[in-house]
Chain A
Amino acid sequence: DGGITQSPKYLFRKEGQNVTLSCEQNLNHDAMYWYRQDPGQGLRLIYYSQIVNDFQKGDIAEGYSVSREKKESFPLTVTSAQKNPTAFYLCASSIGNTGELFFGEGSRLTVL
């Protein structure tokens, strides 16, 4: 089955720790995205990548880092510099020509 796999689904982290969220897709899509969703808010773009070895900051990139070494993979690291990291994180991919995104199931990060 083609799709996007995010892991872990739930993650707890102590303050001051970095954590990496995994995102893998087998849809052969060039573009991949990371969004953050907070209660009562829309989806805010953290980082996106249109092609391997290239990525761009989104609207709320501070405290986050990404890499795109393979077409299939776009991991997101939430660093200790992120002031309010508790949120629901969504990874998505797209062919890139109409805005239709395919989302993963999401990862819920809770900082204790």
Chain B
Amino acid sequence: DQQVKQNSPSLSVQEGRISILNCDYTNSMFDYFLWYKKYPAEGPTFLISISSIKDKNEDGRFTVFLNKSAKHLSLHIVPSQPGDSAVYFCAAWWAFVGSSASKIIFGSGTRLSIRP
């Protein structure tokens, strides 16, 4: 049962335009949602996160929106640049109640290609 889903395996956007990557989740217990960026043959790097109590978080060209009623989050990149071409993973993190333990799960990723 996939709790974090990225339904678009790939996305192509023209340089300078807005890139919108989407992610859906099924569980309301998540505390944070995160986006990671991954280049081929490298480890993912953290990009941006949002607390489950917020609706929006912005960091430079990157903005993440959280719609709790729809259980949906999106990552907006504007303007898109060639270096943004990578695989983007959506992730959800939660802490176990009454414990110091926590867990994070990842979506299957969306490959973003920025074309000139």
Contact = CB atoms under 8 A, between A and B. Distances in A.
A104 interface: yes
Given A42-B107, A42-B108, A99 B43 contact: no
A104 to B, nearest CB: 5
B90 to A, nearest CB: 9
B41 A100 contact: no
Interface residues of A, number: 27
A98 B32 contact: yes
Interface residues of B, number: 27
Contact of B104 (A41, A56, A90, A101): A101
Nearest to B6: A42
Nearest to A43: B106
Contacts of A42: 6, 89, 106-109
Interface stretch (B44-52, B58-66, B76-84): B44-52
A90 B108 contact: no
A90 B89 CA distance: 14
Interface string B70-103: 0000000000000000000101110100001110
Contacts of B9: 40
A41 B44 contact: no
B49 A50 contact: no
Interface of B: 6, 9, 31-32, 34, 36, 41-46, 49, 89, 91-93, 95, 100-102, 104-109
6 contacts: A41-B109, A42-B89, A44-B106, A97-B102, A98-B93, A102-B46
Given A6-B43, A99-B31, A101-B46, 6 more contacts: A4-B43, A42-B89, A98-B32, A99-B102, A103-B44, A106-B42
